[in-house]
Structures are given as structure tokens and as C-alpha cells.
Structure 1
Amino acid sequence: MGSCIICGTSVEGHICDIHEEDAVFEFRGSTPDELTPGRYYRGTVDGFAEFGVFVDIGDSVTGLLHESELDSRLESLSWQPGDTVYVRVTNVRDNGNVDLSWSIRQADDEFRGVLIDDPDEDHELLPEETDEPIDEQSTPDESPESTESESTDSKQTDATTTGAVRTREDSQTGGGAVGLEESESASAADESASAGSADVEGTADEDVEDEPAEAERTPEPPSVDVGDLEGWIGDTVRITGEIVDARQTSGPTVFELRDGTGSVDCAAFVEAGVRAYPSVEEGAVVEIDGEVRERRGELQVETEELELFDEDKREAVLEEIEATLSERARPDEIDPLVADEAVAAESESIRDVVGEIRRAVLEDRPVIVRHSATTDGYVGGAAIERAVLPLVRDRHDRRDAEYHYIDRRPIEGDVYGLDDATTDVTRMLGDRERHDENLPLLVFVAAGGTEESLDGFELLDVYDASKVVIDTVAESTIVDTVDAALAPKADATSVAIADGTTRGPTASALAATVGAHVEEDVRPDLAHLPAVSYWGEVPEAYAAAAAEAGYDGTAVSEIREAVALEAYYQSYEDKRELVTDLLFGGRETTDADVRGLASHVSEQFREKLDVAVETAQENLDRRSVGDETIGVLDIDRFTHTYDFPPATLLLDELYRRSDDLTAIVGVDEDELHVRSGHELDVRELVDAADETVEGADLEPLSTRSHRIEFLAGQRSTVVDAVLDAIVDSV
């Protein structure tokens, strides 16, 4: 008879049934059926699968720790094959499969005893009762002599220790202290105690208080930029930067530190699940000394010392980070896709926008492209997406990273309203809460350039979401609101949209230029995009660039029309793969069906548009107002509301085919659209009409696309008043 090592009860062996779960076992068997379900075992990581982690228990048995049993996401684990972990055997199946569950205790000294499970014996054994050595796990309570002995024998054993970061003042309490230059490390637990989101390894250091002379001779570690850490694996270095994330795992505390060259996880361990350096939070600026390790393909610094900077030092470091990031992100020179004076004149603005986009990628912020659901919007948005995708793929190993860090979201019209802003704010706050994502950079293409978008932008400002605008016009109020704006004009009335064309470069021409500088390697892919975005005559330089890229006039026209048709259907979806096939399929595949996709879709475009225009021409009401003739189309009665083409595209084409009209006004139930070759300011039209119509609640919906909103009950009087205002303006 023996006695329980915990309670002293007389038992056959050394542990009673009540306290069996308080001990950890080392397995000496060779088959799964020799395991005892319910017991905790020391094991080692064997490998990883999509559904969990395989753990070796002993030399011959492997079990599965399913991802549902983990206390963190599988992809966040920093384990390496061979790392020690502690698991519980929950079931041994008839086919020999072993089911495991997670143990919150991840070191021998966190259990109340260590026993040997040897099936050849009648009962469990104490370590001293077996001739075979067991893997002793060092603890903070070890004496200097025992630590020294282990150090001497380290060449003959595989046992490793976990470095714990402690200062002299709090070494008795086990808490991490900040800001003290003198600190000492104590061996804390087995390497497995850090299992969770990160592992921390190190060699237990001796207490050096009795050897001050030797300590004074210890050289400071070299200061290294985060971006250069790959060349310092295995070395102790010093890094300085801002803490952008602090999270507690079941093992160590993990701080994400960034400087101007990149970011890296720094693991600090006191004891399993206990917060190290509790005063260090997000936004703190620190200096960390530690060894550079590689964990599952990712670099990690094992924190040995940490110093928290005061306000003066903090500001200096943040300024340096800011300067370095700006220098890395902002291009030195701008080389337009073609010789275009209007684009070249915006070189400084292009540099600003490129810098904001590249910086967002460097800071792991998602890039959200918001663009109008038009050909110009889709082509320009796709140009930005095309440029950002390779940067995201290069920076993130996750297969789904390209769907998290770059997204394209069309909006109806060219105004970013509260409805769109509410959608974006809801999604970005949810992503931050559920997935710990940073707030995004929003890039507006062919949208957001006029002050009608201010309400939406102001909601984004509440949450400090960054934003840039790439449009044919950017009014001064918008320029003052966004982080960067790229537009050749500041006056919406100077952008002629009578037939769907613009004076000067399109938003797509600007966006393609930006994309070529965000990622130089995609420049050849973007050369034909500006030509696709012009509904009128394509500028000669852009037509030549498209031809050189393999797109003749017919191909350019077919792509333009195909994108316009597909932009209308499922207008709130990005249709990434379909748009990619339309815009770039001719370059990326020899598949005849894909190469002919644009031609096929453009045929449908022309058929549908021709039928709609013929119907509109037959029902166009030509009104004489003063000395001018204005065409009025009742959109509500003479178009198919939920079928292609949309009113904007229909009115553009209708105006192209109506040479004798001063303007065309399309009237819907509670809004109207104006098309004219004259420069008209819809705000002035609204002011003039409002003087003659009471209670119509006239509002300019978009000064860029000449839309006016009114109350449906005043429809006829509003139309008359607007027609008079148009004649007075021309």
C-alpha cells in the first residue's frame, strides 16, 4: 500500500481518485489503449492541420487537440513542432484515435505532482522510482546551485527553460515592472507554459547581485529596426517603437510593437495567464531588449527587459515613426501613364494619395475602395484594387488576407451619404471588435468630391477613419475634410456631363496613375484603363497607350460597355472576379470564352440601350421656354424602373442623339436630372426655382451629376420652375 502524494490517503500507488486530475503524467506506454482517459499528460507538438494540433504523448502515441478545444484561434498559436504542451486525454476510440482537450496548466509546477504512467507497472510511479530520466521542468523557486547544475548539463539534455521578465523590486511578487533600467530574469516555467498565442523561450539567468562588476561589463544589445529583424534570429537586440496591441494569452502577454519599418510580436512571460507589464497599454512607446525567434514562420521577440518612455521621449519616437513611414510610403517622383498635362499638374496630390494608400498597407489597415456604380467608378476602383492586392499578398500569409485588407464597395450615384457611411462604420467597428482589425482607409473614386458628401464624411470623422478622394472634382469643403484629395477641378459646374463625358482626365485616368505608383509592377496592367473610361472621344495619348497594351478601339469600346452593363446589376456588389475578367482577362488567359466575354456582354448593352433610347425619343416632350427648346422625359412613366439602362445612362445617350436641344430634363417621381452642354450649377437652379415654388423642399442631390430632389406632390410646378431657371442660366 502507498499513499496519495497530495492528501496522504492510503491507495494502491501514489494518487487517489479524487486528486488524479491534480497531477500530470509522463506516458511510458506504446499503444493508445494504455492511456487513462481523464488524466493530464505532458506531450509535444507533432504537427498542425486545418482542424487542430497533433500532440505526441510518449514516443509512440499521437492524439488530436481539436481547434474547438483551444482557448484561442488556431492561426494565432505560435507553437513549433517539438514544443512541450500539457493536455488531457478525453477519449480513446476503438480505432486507436485519441481525443485531447486543453489544459490551463502549462508547466509541471502548476500541477500538484508529477507521476510516471508506465503500463508495465501495477500502478503509477514516482519519478525517483524509475531508472529512466524524466524531463525536469525548471521553476522560479530553483536554487542557484540547481540552475547552475542544469546549465552544466544542458549539452546532454533537451530540456529548455522559459525566461520570465522581472525587475528587482517586484521579483518577489511575480509582476512585471516598467521603466527600471536594472532588471533580472528568473527562470519561470517549462516552455509549454507559454502555449497559447505565443511561446517564450529563454535560458534561466543567474542572480547577479553579487557580481556587479561583471554586470557592468555586459554590453548593451544592438539597436535594430523591426524591418531588419530577420537577419538577427537567435540574437538579443533592442527595438524601440509604439505598442499598437496588447493581448493576454493563456501563456505570455503579447505586445505588438511597430516602428517606421514594420511591426513584430513581443512575448513577455511572468506566469501562465498573468499579465506582464500591466501598465503598458496600446499607444505606449517602449524600448524592449530580447532575443529574436522564429515561430511558425513569423518573427517574435522574447522580451527580457522593457522600458516605458516618458512623454518627451514618446513624442520624439512617434515623430520619427511618422517621418519614416511617410518616407517609405510616399513616392519620390510621379511618372504619368501618358503625357497628360492635366495629370502631371496634380503630381503633388498624386504623391499624397499614393502615400496614404501605401501607408495603410504598411500599418495593416484595410483599404476600402468606395466608388460610383458607373464605368468610371468601376474602372478606377479596379485600378486601385489591382495595385493594392499584391502588396497585401506580400505582407500577409493568410490565404484570405486579400479579402480582409482590400475591399471594393460600389455606391449608388456619386454622393457618399449617411446611409453609405452608416454601413461602413458598422462594418469597421464590428471587424475591430470581432477580428481585432485596424480601422480602414477609405478611398473614394468617382465619388465624394462635392459637399453633398459632407454628412457621410463627418460620421467617419467621429471614429477617426482616414479617407482620400480621387474624382474629377473636389470642392474646397471636401479638400479640407479628407486626408488627401486628387482632382483637377474644384468647381463642379466646370465638369461637363451632358453626354456622360468630362472635361479633362476622368477619375479612372487619375486612379490608374495612382495605382501605377502604389505598385510599379502592375503599371502594364493599367495602361488601357483610362481609355476605357472615356464615353466621348478618347484622348489620343490614352488610345495609343491602350493600343500598345493590346486593346484597339473596338476592344476598348466593348469593355466600356460591358462594365457599364455589369455595373448596373447587383450594383452594391464588387463583382471582383467578373470585373477582373472584363478588364484584364485578355491579358491573363488564352481561354476564348473569357477573352470574348466583354464582346458578348457589350452586345447586350447595345441592344438594351437602343430599345430604351428609341422609346424615350418617342415620348420626349419638347418644350419651348423663352427662346430655348428643352426636352422633358417622364422617367417614371416611360422607362423600366428596375431594368437596364439606369436613368443616368439613358439621359446621357439621349442627349448625344439630340443635337437641337438646349437641355434635357429627366423627371422621376421625386427627383430630376439635368443634361446640358452649358455649364449649369444645380445649386443656383434650386435657389432660383425655390423662389417661385413654395413647399417643394428642393435640394441639390448632386452638383456633379446634376440631380435635384423635391417633394412628389409639387412635381409639375417644380419642373416648370426648373425649366425657367435653366433658360435664365444659359
Structure 2
Amino acid sequence: MVPVPDAGDSGVAVPDGGTTVYDLDSNCDFEYVSEGDLYLAEVNGVVEYGVFVDLSDDVSGLVHGSNLLGTYEVGDELVVELEEVRDNGDLAFDEVDLPDYEVETIARDSHAVADLGDVVGESVTLEGVVVQIKQTGGPTVFQVRDATGIAPCTAFEEAGVRAYEDVELDDVVRVDGYVETREGAVQVEIDDLQVLDGGDAEEVRTEQADDLDEMAEPHDPEPLVEWAAFEKLRGDLRAVAERLRREILEGRPIRMRHHADGDGICASVPMQVALERFIEDTYEDPDAAQHLLKRLPSKAPYYEMEDVTRDLNFALEDRTRHGQRLPLLLMLDNGSTEEDTPAYRNLAHYDVPIVVVDHHHPDPDAVGGLLDEHVNPYLHDEDYRITTGMMCVELARMIDPGITEELRHVPAVAGLSDRSEADAMDDYLELAREEGYDEAELRDVGEALDYATFWLKYDDGGQLVTDALNVDCDDEARHRDLVSFLATRAERDVERQLDAAMPHVDHERLDNDAHLYRLDVENHAHRFTYPAPGKTTGKVHDSKVAETGDPVITIGYGPDFAVLRSDGVRLDIPNMVEELKEEVDGGGVSGGGHLVVGSIKFVRGMRETVIDALVEKMADAEIDEELGSSAAFAED
């Protein structure tokens, strides 16, 4: 430091130790100005009585002629000290004679998104990444993510006109504005928005990278039950949890497709609730979950071209209208087979990652190159007895462990719905008993979900489904009454269907001594009502298993499909389907499912040929009376 002489007869004396001059960034406001400190100012106007100076874009004032040490023009720089804040808010400065000094740049402090609620009504600066740009009928809304959360920042031009057209997704920006509340939620009204580039942008990304990784890191709760078979899957589930959390932080929507049955509901509802709560914790915008997450049931046991076409259409519209990224597709209790690949290849034309959590027999060679993450017990030498609902309960807890108390009964519902014979079922049933459910009540929950889902068709059911499952439900009595009503209706409709169908069930004894039952569900069962053909076949099968106590195979068929169920017979339905594709020329065979339960499609004119060929294969199958069946793979 160099000692500074007194100013003399004009200007003001340099305060003791006043050898540092502060250069305010353009976005600093009056909060960064203090009496006794020295500032670098730029002349922005010259009048007879002095000069007007800017310390920043927001801090300006007058240096009166009597306090000037020289003559200045617009654009000249000088050193000033705050003299007075007048009653009307105007600032008066004195020039300081300071021939030698050091300059220290003062940058406006960046506020954290998580702290915005504490500074409502104040001006702030945010630095972060733009993860969504949404054009409304009024302002343009930029969702900006820092290391603590994501905040909506609004900019106004003309109504419905895009503000800051040069700003794009993934840009690093500095937002100056004022914190306000709208309908109880915090947002920043933009005064200025700058795109940072080069080293400035990289510095922000680097500073926030570790915090972003920490926010994406999943939780590691203790498993609900100790189960060695399940432990093989925990690493895969953890990778999915981290992927989903990170995609939400990056502003990517999630489109969740799930099989429309009990296990599919037990998988998707916990995931929906956990992801919604993570979004609510991360985004200041209370409507964020509505835009970032959709749960959609799929009737078919694979991802149909109809579904993918609808999904892509909605996604592309949302990208155009709301500035959203294309979504991540999350497939639950579905999505592991070759039948899914045409739809997946359609998505491959776009930036749509695909994540699958499923327990149906997979075709990893067909789907492997099309999926970003794939969790399936068969990939670890396990099988369908680890249901998707069981996996997704643990996955949901990795995303939000606070959901645990609401989910303790759900794995048992999933297991009973899909007839899991896993060793862990006794432990899951005990967990449910601790929550007040006996086995009969759990079965009723599964039936209620299946019944409601049938009538909802392509609708997700919203609160009705969450109430039936008793997840995110605020009224236990309503849940119990709803389940009782739906399960009773389901039982009534099943009995009516069996009364109509049973007289038309054909029986024969196969060469391996298994009972074979056939039912034409197209002509000898009520159509377009509950239960659907797959469920009807399953109920007929259960009745015959109980009646005979022997190995049983049941086929429920229509004009161009057949639903298959087996107990005590070691079938391999996915393999049989592959063989029929090769052996039945012109059959148009497709399908799959579990090893002992599945569905097959074919062309109408080849029904008899396909089914006869199938029965021949079943007659050669090995009898294993200890082998049970899994859930009915419904084909509507």
C-alpha cells in the first residue's frame, strides 16, 4: 500500500486507511454501498451544478460541483465517497483525491434457490442452468437450477411474446431480479438475465457439480425384509434411482408406463408419489410435478405402437409449447420382450432415454441395445417371484425414504396379486399384518385395484387408485370402505362370468397326464365387461386346480389370441412362442410372458393350427407338481 496524501482544499480528505477503491459489478444495488468506503464511478451526465455518476446499473447519484476536483465528460472515471442519502432517496457523492489505490471488484452475492423464501421482497442474483423455458399467455418462465433447487424466473415482454429469445436450454445464466410470491409460491421477477459463457459458465458448472451429484445421490434405506435373492438387484435399482433423480434435476419429464394390473399399480403408485415429493422438494414451482411426471397404464403386456405414438405426440407438443425436454420413458411391470422393440426403435429417432423395471421373462438380446437401464430378476438368475411391485417399493424408498411407512403393506399386495411364491412372502405378509392387514384384506386390495383399473381403461385413476392402495391417502376409513365396495363388485362379476363360462369348458388329458382345459372366451364369456379374457381364464384355471389337485393347463382363446395358465407343468411359454414363429408358417405368432403363464397372438385363420401345435408342446412338457403358477398375464 502507498500512503495517500490529504486531498487539500477541494474534494474530501481520504479516510484513514482508505486505499482500497471498490468497483461494483453492474448488478450491485445500494445494499453494497457503505459510508466511509470509496468507489469507482463513471460519469453519465454533466450539468451546470455538477456531474451525475454511476457506481452500477442500480446505484447512481450526483457529485455537486463544489465537491469536484476537476472537469469531467461523460464516460470519465473518478473515485467517490457517499456523502448523503437524501430524504427523497437521491444519493450525493464527494470526489476523493486518490492518486494511488488498489481496486477491488465487488460482485453481487448469488442467492441460493433454497433460501429465496427468506428474502421475499428483496432483489437477488441467481446463477444456474436453465432447465426449462415455458411461454405462457403472459410472461416467459425460465426454470433455473442452482446447487440447492430450481426456481421459476419470470420475464415480461408483450403478452405471450418470448422474452430473452437468445436464451436456450442448458445455458448458464445470471438472473437479477426481485423475489415475490404468487399464489403462495416463490418466484423471481427478472430485471436482467445474462447468458454466461466461456470461463464464467464453466466456473458456475464446476462450482455446482459436486452439489448436483449430491442432490442426485439416492438414499440407502435398510430393506423392508432380508432377502438374499433381492440383494442381487439392489445395485441396479440404485442406478435407476440416481438416474431418475438426476433427470428431474435436469428438468427432463418422466413418462411412466405400467402394466394395468395389481402388480403394475403396486409398482407405479409408490414411484409416482416418491417422484412427486422429490420434485416438490426440489422445485419452487408448485405446478412442477404436474408438468414433469405422468403415470399411464398400458393394457397390453408390451409397449404398443399405439402407446408410443401417443407418447411421442404429447412429448413433441410439450417441447414446442412449454420448452420442455423430451421425456424419459419409465417402463414398469412391462417392457422386457422383443414385442416392445418396434416401439423402442421408434423412440430411438428422438432423445428419449428408456428405463425398464420388470419381472417378466426378458429377451435381453432384443432389448439390450435399446435400453439405458434394465432391472429384471432373470438377469440375475432369479425369476418372476420377485415382483415389480416389490422392486419398486424399494426403488421408491431410495428416492424418498420418508414414504416408507405408507408402503409397508404394498409388497404383500403385489406378491398376492401376481401369485408370487417367493420365500420372502411370509415376511411381507407379516409386515402387512403389523399395518393392520390380514391376507384376505390384502387380496381384496389387489382385487379392488384390478377392478378399478379395468374400468379406468387408459386413465391413471388419480386419487381413486392411491386411495384403494392406501398410499398418499389421508382417510383410512375411506380406503377401507372403497376397497370393500370394489372387491365385492369384482367378486360378483367374476361369479357371474364363471356361471356363464364353466359349462363351455372343454377337458382332455394330455400324454404327460396333465389336465388341459380350453375355453372360447370370445363366444362363451361375457365380453366388454369385468373380468377380461385373461382374468376369466385365470379364474377358470384356479377353479380347476382346486377341483382336481393335479397338474393343470388352461387355455382361454379368442379369434386371434390365447391366454395360457399352468400349475404343476414345467412350461417355457416364451420359448414355445419362438418355436411356433418358426414352425407355423403364416401364423403371425407373437407373445410371451412368464415361463408358466403368458399370452399368444396369431392371425385369425391360423387359430386352430397354432393352438394344436401349442398343445402338442404342452403334452411333451415335464410334470413338476411342486411348480406353481404366476399371475395371469391379462390380454384384453
TM-score with structure 2 length normalisation? 0.71
Indicate how the Cα distance of structure 1 residues 239 and 608 shifts in structure 2: closer, same or farther if over 3 A, else same: closer
Query: In the comparison of the two structures, how many residue pairs are matched?
Result: 534
Answer whether contact 1:562 1:602 (CA < 8 A) is retained. yes
Indicate how the Cα distance of structure 1 residues 703 and 205 shifts in structure 2: closer, same or farther if over 3 A, else same: farther
State the match for 2:364 in structure 1: 476
User: Which residue of the other structure, out of 579, 591, 608, is the alignment partner of 1:700?
Assistant: 591
Indicate how the Cα distance of structure 1 residues 703 and 302 shifts in structure 2: closer, same or farther if over 3 A, else same: same
Is 1:612 aligned with 2:486? no
State the match for 2:403 in structure 1: 522
User: Which residue of the other structure, out of 557, 566, 571, is the alignment partner of 1:667?
Assistant: 557
**SS of residue paired to 2:507:** strand
What is the alpha-carbon distance in structure 2 between the residues aligned to residue 657 and residue 278 of structure 1? 66
What is the alpha-carbon distance in structure 2 between the residues aligned to residue 560 and residue 424 of structure 1? 28
State the match for 2:300 in structure 1: 413
State the match for 2:338 in structure 1: 451
For residues 151-190 of structure 1, what are the structure 2 equivalents within 5 Å? none
What is the alpha-carbon distance in structure 2 between the residues aligned to residue 364 and residue 275 of structure 1? 19
State the match for 2:467 in structure 1: 581
**SS of residue paired to 1:216:** strand
Is 1:143 aligned with 2:35? no
Indicate how the Cα distance of structure 1 residues 147 and 247 shifts in structure 2: closer, same or farther if over 3 A, else same: farther
What is the alpha-carbon distance in structure 2 between the residues aligned to residue 462 and residue 279 of structure 1? 27
User: Which residue of the other structure, out of 487, 490, 504, is the alignment partner of 2:379?
Assistant: 490
What is the alpha-carbon distance in structure 2 between the residues aligned to residue 337 and residue 279 of structure 1? 50
**SS of residue paired to 1:718:** helix
State the match for 1:622 in structure 2: 507
Residue range with higher mean Cα deviation, 662-671 or 254-263? 254-263
Answer whether contact 2:133 2:323 (CA < 8 A) is retained. no
State the match for 1:327 in structure 2: 214
State the match for 1:507 in structure 2: 388
For residues 228-377 of structure 1, what are the structure 2 equivalents within 5 Å? 241-244=128-131, 257-264=144-151, 281-285=168-172, 288=174, 291=176, 293-296=178-181, 297-299=186-188, 302-303=191-192, 307-309=196-198, 324-377=211-264
State the match for 1:177 in structure 2: none
Shift of 1:603: 1.6
Is 1:723 aligned with 2:615? yes
Gaps of 5+ in 2: 1-41, 61-76, 78-89, 623-636
Shift of 1:682: 3.3
What is the alpha-carbon distance in structure 2 between the residues aligned to residue 145 and residue 391 of structure 1? 58
State the match for 2:604 in structure 1: 712
Answer whether contact 1:232 1:292 (CA < 8 A) is retained. no
What is the alpha-carbon distance in structure 2 between the residues aligned to residue 213 and residue 274 of structure 1? 50
Indicate how the Cα distance of structure 1 residues 148 and 262 shifts in structure 2: closer, same or farther if over 3 A, else same: farther
User: Which residue of the other structure, out of 546, 554, 558, is the alignment partner of 2:432?
Assistant: 546
What is the alpha-carbon distance in structure 2 between the residues aligned to residue 316 and residue 232 of structure 1? 25
What is the alpha-carbon distance in structure 1 between the residues aligned to residue 49 and residue 576 of structure 2? 86
What is the alpha-carbon distance in structure 2 between the residues aligned to residue 662 and residue 162 of structure 1? 83
Shift of 1:716: 1.2
Residue range with higher mean Cα deviation, 637-646 or 251-260? 251-260
**SS of residue paired to 1:295:** strand
Residue identity in the other structure for 1:518: I
Answer whether contact 1:672 1:708 (CA < 8 A) is retained. yes
What is the alpha-carbon distance in structure 1 between the residues aligned to residue 92 and residue 572 of structure 2? 76
Answer whether contact 1:162 1:204 (CA < 8 A) is retained. no
For residues 217-228 of structure 1, what are the structure 2 equivalents within 5 Å? 217-221=104-108, 227=114
- CA deviations 1:382-439 (Å, max 9, x no partner) are 1112222333444556665543333221001321122111111111111222233333
Residue range with higher mean Cα deviation, 326-335 or 714-723? 326-335
Answer whether contact 1:223 1:237 (CA < 8 A) is retained. yes
State the match for 2:450 in structure 1: 564
What is the alpha-carbon distance in structure 1 between the residues aligned to residue 490 and residue 531 of structure 2? 8
What is the alpha-carbon distance in structure 2 between the residues aligned to residue 701 and residue 605 of structure 1? 27
Q: CA RMSD in A?
A: 4.5
State the match for 1:648 in structure 2: 534
Indicate how the Cα distance of structure 1 residues 268 and 636 shifts in structure 2: closer, same or farther if over 3 A, else same: closer
What is the alpha-carbon distance in structure 2 between the residues aligned to residue 292 and residue 545 of structure 1? 51
Residue identity in the other structure for 2:264: G
Shift of 1:247: 8.1
Is 1:534 aligned with 2:415? yes
State the match for 2:276 in structure 1: 389
Residue identity in the other structure for 1:143: G
Indicate how the Cα distance of structure 1 residues 284 and 543 shifts in structure 2: closer, same or farther if over 3 A, else same: same
Indicate how the Cα distance of structure 1 residues 218 and 715 shifts in structure 2: closer, same or farther if over 3 A, else same: closer
What is the alpha-carbon distance in structure 1 between the residues aligned to residue 147 and residue 281 of structure 2? 18
Shift of 1:373: 0.9
**SS of residue paired to 2:106:** coil
User: Which residue of the other structure, out of 572, 575, 598, is the alignment partner of 1:684?
Assistant: 575
Residue range with higher mean Cα deviation, 702-711 or 344-353? 702-711
**SS of residue paired to 2:554:** strand
Shift of 1:524: 0.6
**SS of residue paired to 2:535:** helix
Is 1:600 aligned with 2:485? yes
**SS of residue paired to 2:415:** coil
Shift of 1:615: 4.0
Answer whether contact 1:412 1:571 (CA < 8 A) is retained. yes
Is 1:432 aligned with 2:305? no
- CA deviations 1:134-177 (Å, max 9, x no partner) are xxxxxx9962559987789x9xxxxx98799xxxxxxxxxxxxx
Residue range with higher mean Cα deviation, 464-473 or 718-727? 464-473
User: Which residue of the other structure, out of 519, 537, 546, is the alignment partner of 1:633?
Assistant: 519
TM-score with structure 1 length normalisation? 0.63
- CA deviations 1:101-154 (Å, max 9, x no partner) are xxxxxxxxxxxxxxxxxxxxxxxxxxxxxxxxxxxxxxx9962559987789x9
Indicate how the Cα distance of structure 1 residues 395 and 722 shifts in structure 2: closer, same or farther if over 3 A, else same: same
**SS of residue paired to 1:588:** coil
What is the alpha-carbon distance in structure 1 between the residues aligned to residue 109 and residue 581 of structure 2? 72
State the match for 1:79 in structure 2: none
Percent identical pairs in the alignment equals 27
What is the alpha-carbon distance in structure 2 between the residues aligned to residue 265 and residue 144 of structure 1? 41
Answer whether contact 1:690 1:698 (CA < 8 A) is retained. yes
**SS of residue paired to 2:324:** coil
Shift of 1:533: 1.6
Answer whether contact 2:219 2:398 (CA < 8 A) is retained. no
Answer whether contact 1:234 1:292 (CA < 8 A) is retained. no
What is the alpha-carbon distance in structure 2 between the residues aligned to residue 269 and residue 212 of structure 1? 45
Answer whether contact 2:176 2:191 (CA < 8 A) is retained. yes
**SS of residue paired to 1:706:** strand
